Structure 1
Amino acid sequence: MDDPAILVAGETLIDFLPAQPGPLSEVESFSRRAGGAAANVAIALSRFDASPWFLTNVSTDGFGDFLAAILDENGLPGRFVTRSAHPTTLAFVAHDADADRSFTFYGADSADSHLDADVVPDSVLDHIEWICVDAPVALAAEPARSALLDLCERARDHDCRVAFDPNTRRELWPDDVTLHETLDAVFARTDVVKTSVEDLGGTSFADDDPTDLAANLFAAGPHTVFLTRGADGSRAIAADRAPWGAVDVSHPGYDVDPVDATGAGDAFLAGVLHELAGGESLDETLAFANAVAALTTTETGAIDALPDHEAVTALRDACPE
C-alpha cells in the first residue's frame, strides 16, 4: 500500500452529546462520543479508502485509551499518534430547539495542547501532497500552536500544499490579540482555506459579502476559499494565482433530514481534500463535499455519522444536479 498523500494535524477529544435540547444547566445526561475537528477529518478520509497520516497527541488516561482504540478501529496509521499523561479535552455540546449548537470545553493543559510536530520528519513531507490543519483546541494553546506553525512552514518548504480551517472557538483563546496574530501567521502559510462568514466575524478578515471576505483572505495568503453556508450549500472562490485559475462556483447543497450538525464542517473539509488530492474541479469538489457534510448531519455524533464513498454516491444519484 502506498504511503498517504495527506497529513491531517490537530486534536482528538471527547464530545459529550446532550440527551435533550436546552442549556447545559438543564441537561441531565450525555452520551460519550469520540471527536475533535482533526480526528473527524482524518476518519472521514479513511471512510473513502484514503487514510491519511494523522498527527495528534492522545492522553494516557481512560478517555485517551478509548480514543486511541477508535483511531485504530478506523484504520488510521499510528506512526504520528503520540501519547502523554496530560488529560483528555472534554467538549460538552448543548443545542437549542433550532439545533443551534454551543460547546463548553474542559481540559486545561490537555493532551491536545502538547501535540508534537517534530515526530513528522522532513522525509515524510517530501512524499505528501497536502497538510490539513483543523485544530481549534491545539492552535489555541502552547506548545501545540508553535508546533503547528512550524509544521506548516516546513510543509511549504517541501512543496506541500496547506489547507486550513480556522474553526474559531473564541472561548479557548487567552485573548483576541493571540487569536488574530495566530490567524495571520497560519493564513500566511496556507493555500486553501475552508471557513464561513460567521466563523471569521470579529476578525480583521471579516466581511458579510463573501466576495470581499475571499479578497481579504487572498491578501493574507490563501489562493482558494471554500465558504460553507449550512443548509444553503457552499461556494468556492479562487484567485488568479490558484492552480485552477480564477474560479467562483456555488452548490446549493442536498435536501436531507438533519439530526445533529456536529462534525459537518469537518466532513465537508475532508470531502474537499479528497477531491482536490484526486485532481477534481472545484465544481465537482463542492458537490462531493456538500454530500459528505449533508450525510453527516443525518445521525447523532460526528464520527459515527461519517459516510463512505458508496453512501455519497447514492445521495448524489438520488439528487441529480
Structure 2
Amino acid sequence: MDDPAILVAGETLIDFLPAQPGPLSEVESFSRRAGGAAANVAIALSRLDTPPWFLTNVSTDGFGDFLGETLTENGIPDRIVTRSAHPTTLAFVAHDADADRSFTFYGADSAGGHLDAGVVSDDTLDRIEWLCVDAPVALAAEPARSALLTLCERARDHGCRVAFDPNTRRELWPDDATLHETLDAMLDRTDVVKTSIEDLDGTSFAGDDPADLAANLFAAGPHTVFLTRGADGSRAIAADRAPWGTVDVSHSGYDVDPVDATGAGDAFLAGVLHGLAGDESLDEVLAFANAVAALTTTETGAIDALPDHEAVTALRKSRSE
C-alpha cells in the first residue's frame, strides 16, 4: 500500500441502535455497532480505495477489542492506533418516526478523550496532504482537545491542509464557553470545514443564509465551506483565497429510500476528502460525496452501511451523471 495521503483523527466508539423508534425510555432492545465520527470517516475512505492513517485511542475493554477488530477488518493501519484502560464511549441512539435522531453518551473519562497525538511523527506529517478532525467526543475532553489542537498546528507547519467537521454534540461539553473557545481555536487552524446550518446554530458563526454562514466561517479561518442539507443535497462555497478560487456550487442529492441516517454526514466528509485528495473540481466533489452519504442511509448503522467505490459509481450512473 502506498503511504496514505490523509490522516483522520478522532474517536472510535460503540453505537447502540434502537430496535424501534421512540424515546430511550420506551426502547427495550438495541443492536451493537462500531461507530464514532472519525472511525466512520476513516473506514469510509478505506472502502473508497483511499485508506488513511487513523489516529484514535481504543479501550482495552471488551468493546475495545471489538472496535480494534473492526478497524483491522476494514483495512485501517494500526500504526497510530493506541490502546488504553479507559472505558469505551457508548452512544445510545434514539429516533422518531421521521428518522430524526438524538444521541445519549455514556463513558466519563473514556478512551476517546485520551488521544495521544505524539505518536504522529514529523515524517508522517511530511508525507500526508490532509489532516481531518471529526471528533465530537475527543474535542470535548482533555487531554484529547489540546492534543488535537497541537496536531493541527504541527500539520500546517508541515504544509498539510486541515479539514474539520464541528459536529457539535452539545451534551458532551462541560459548558458553552469551552465549546465556543474550541470552535474558535479549531477554525483558526482549518482550511476546509464541513458543517450545516443546524450544527452551528447558537454559535457566533450561525447564519440562516448559507452565504452569510460561509462568510462568518471565512472570517474565522477556513477558505472553503461544505454545507450539507440532508435530503436536499449540499453546497460548496469557497473564498477567493482558496486554491481553487471563488466557487459557489450546489448538488441536489440523490433520491434513495432511507433507513437510518447515522453516519451519513461522516460518509459525506469521507467523499469530500476522497475528491479533494484526487484534485477533483468542487462540483465533482459534491456529486461524489452526496452519493456516498445517500447510500449510507439505505442500511442500518454507520460502518455497516458505508459503500465501496463501485456502489457509488453505480448510483451515479443510474442517475445518468
> In the aligned structure 2, how far is the partner of 1:320 from the partner of 1:266?
25
> In the aligned structure 1, how far is the partner of 2:272 from the partner of 2:198?
20
Identity rate, percent: 88
Partner of 1:309: 309
Partner of 1:252: 252
Spell out, residue by residue over 1:111-137, the C-alpha distance to the aligned partner (whole angstroms, 9 max, x if none).
000011000011110010000000000
Gaps of 5+ in 1: none
1:318 shift after superposition: 0.5
Partner of 2:164: 164
TM-score by length of 1: 1.00
Partner of 2:103: 103
Spell out, residue by residue over 1:263-288, the C-alpha distance to the aligned partner (whole angstroms, 9 max, x if none).
00000000000000000000000000
Runs of 4+ in structure 1 over 3 Å off: none
Partner of 1:273: 273
> In the aligned structure 2, how far is the partner of 1:275 from the partner of 1:288?
7
The root-mean-square deviation of aligned C-alpha atoms, in Å, is 0.4
Partner of 2:126: 126
1:49 shift after superposition: 1.4
Q: Which amino acid aligns with 1:181?
A: E
> In the aligned structure 2, how far is the partner of 1:112 from the partner of 1:12?
7
3-state DSSP of counterpart to 1:142: coil
Partner of 2:194: 194
1:281-300 alignment runs, 5 A limit: 281-300=281-300
Partner of 1:66: 66
Q: Which amino acid aligns with 2:307?
A: P
> In the aligned structure 2, how far is the partner of 1:52 from the partner of 1:156?
18
> In the aligned structure 2, how far is the partner of 1:29 from the partner of 1:222?
42
Partner of 2:117: 117
Q: Which amino acid aligns with 1:256?
A: V
Partner of 2:28: 28
3-state DSSP of counterpart to 1:126: helix
3-state DSSP of counterpart to 2:177: helix
TM-score by length of 2: 1.00
Spell out, residue by residue over 1:17-61, the C-alpha distance to the aligned partner (whole angstroms, 9 max, x if none).
000000000000000000000000000000011110000000000
Spell out, residue by residue over 1:108-161, the C-alpha distance to the aligned partner (whole angstroms, 9 max, x if none).
000000011000011110010000000000000000000000000000100100
Partner of 1:142: 142
Partner of 1:236: 236
> In the aligned structure 1, how far is the partner of 2:78 from the partner of 2:49?
16
Partner of 1:222: 222
> In the aligned structure 1, how far is the partner of 2:309 from the partner of 2:67?
24
> In the aligned structure 2, how far is the partner of 1:98 from the partner of 1:254?
18
